[in-house]
Structure 1
Amino acid sequence: MAVVFDASVLIDLFNKKLSGDRRSRLDHLVASLAKQRTKVLIPSPALAEFLVKAGKAKEGYLNEIRRHGSFVIEPFDQRAAIECALLLAEAWARSQKGKVTHTKFKFDWQIVAIAASRNATAIYSDDPDISRAASRVNISVHRTDDLPIPSSALQRAIPFDEPDT
C-alpha cells in the first residue's frame, strides 16, 4: 500500500516550530504509516515546491527524507506523464478551465498523476486544488486538520474539588 504527501504536508511535517494538535496529528500519521509498512510517496513536483520554501535547510531535509524508511521520492516519469495527459485533456476541457492558472493546474495534476500511476490509496494535502483533481480519479484526500489526534496528546481535564459550603 502507498500514500502520497504533497508539499503542504511536508512543509508542516518538517517545521521544527510546529506544535500542538497539528504536530501531534502529523507525528501520529507518520508513526502509524511506518508501523503499517505503508510507503509514503513524495512526488518530485511536491518535493520541488517544498524545497523552494526550505531555504538553507534543504540539504538537511533531503537527508531526513532519504534516511526515513517509509519515504520514497517518485519522479514525474513516462508512466505519470501518460496518466497526467489523460487526466488533463478531460479536466482542462471541462469546468476546471479558467478556475486556476494553467501552470498551477498542470503542477497539481502532475502530483495527482504520480499518485494515480503508483496506485496510491490516498493523498495527504491541504491544497483544495489537489483535492479537486484527486476526486476525478477516485483518490481520497485527507487534510491535516481532519486527521485523528492520538489519545496521548489529548488534553485531560483537571479535576477540581467542589468548594465546601
Structure 2
Amino acid sequence: MRIVLDTNVLVQALGNAKDGIVLVDPATGHNVDRAEARAEALIEMVDARGGTVLIPTPALAEYLVGIDRNFHQSHLDVINGFSCFEIISFDQIAAVECARMVDDNELKVLDPAATKAKLRFDRQIIATALATNADEVWTHDVGLYSKAQKCGLVVKSLGDIEPAPEQLEADFDH
C-alpha cells in the first residue's frame, strides 16, 4: 500500500494543526471531527500493512511554509523519523504526468502567460501520485480531490478512516 498525503493531511499527521481549523470532507461536505486522531490511525494502518506514506516535495514545501524557518530542520527530522514515510521528488516522470493533465478544453482557454500558473502544487502532487503508482491520495482540498479523481486516482479524506476510540479516565473517587 502506497498513499500520498496532501499538505492538509500531513499537517494533521504531524500534529501541527492550528487551533480553529476545521477540515471538511470533500466528498460529503461534512466537518471531520478528531482529524488528528484519524491521521494517526491512517499512519498506523499503513505502517501495520508494511506500506509507505509518500510525501511529495510540493506538499512538503507547502507544509514548511507554515513553520517558522528556525524549526524547519526539526520538522524534517520528525518526518524522517517515521519509518513508513518517504519524501518523493517532483521528477521528470511527474513533470510529464503534470503536463498530460491539461486537457483539450483547458488548452483552448489557456493563456500562454498563465501556463506556469496551471502547474500549481496541487497538480504536482497529483502528478507525483500518478508517477509513483500510488494506491490512494489523501486530501481535504476540494479542487485536488476532484482533479485527482478525474485522473483515475482513488482519493480519500480523513473522514474515510475511523480514529482509535477515545480513552476516558475513570473517576474512582466517587
TM tier, smaller = 0.7 to 0.9
- SS across alignment from 1:145: helix
Rounded to whole Å, the distance in 2 between the matches of 1:63 and 1:91 is 43
Give identity over the alignment, percent. Answer: 29
Mind listing any 5+ residue stretches in structure 2 that lack a counterpart? 20-32, 169-174
Change (3 A) 1:25 1:129: same
Shift of 1:147: 2.2
In the other structure, the counterpart of 1:7 is 7
Cα deviations across residues 86-120 of structure 1 (Å, max 9, x unaligned)? Answer: 112447337999xxx96365321110000011011
- Provide the TM-score with structure 1 as the length reference: 0.79
4+ residue runs over 3 A deviation: 16-20, 93-97
Mind listing any 5+ residue stretches in structure 1 that lack a counterpart? 156-165
- Provide the TM-score with structure 2 as the length reference: 0.75
In the other structure, the counterpart of 1:53 is 66
CA contact (8 A) 2:41 2:161 kept: no
> Hey, which of these two has a bigger chunk of helix by percent?
1
- SS across alignment from 1:40: strand
In the other structure, the counterpart of 2:102 is 88
Equivalent of residue 131 in structure 1, options 145, 161, 165: 145
- SS across alignment from 2:55: strand
Change (3 A) 1:76 1:68: same
Please say which structure displays the higher CA radius of gyration: 1
CA contact (8 A) 2:15 2:36 kept: no
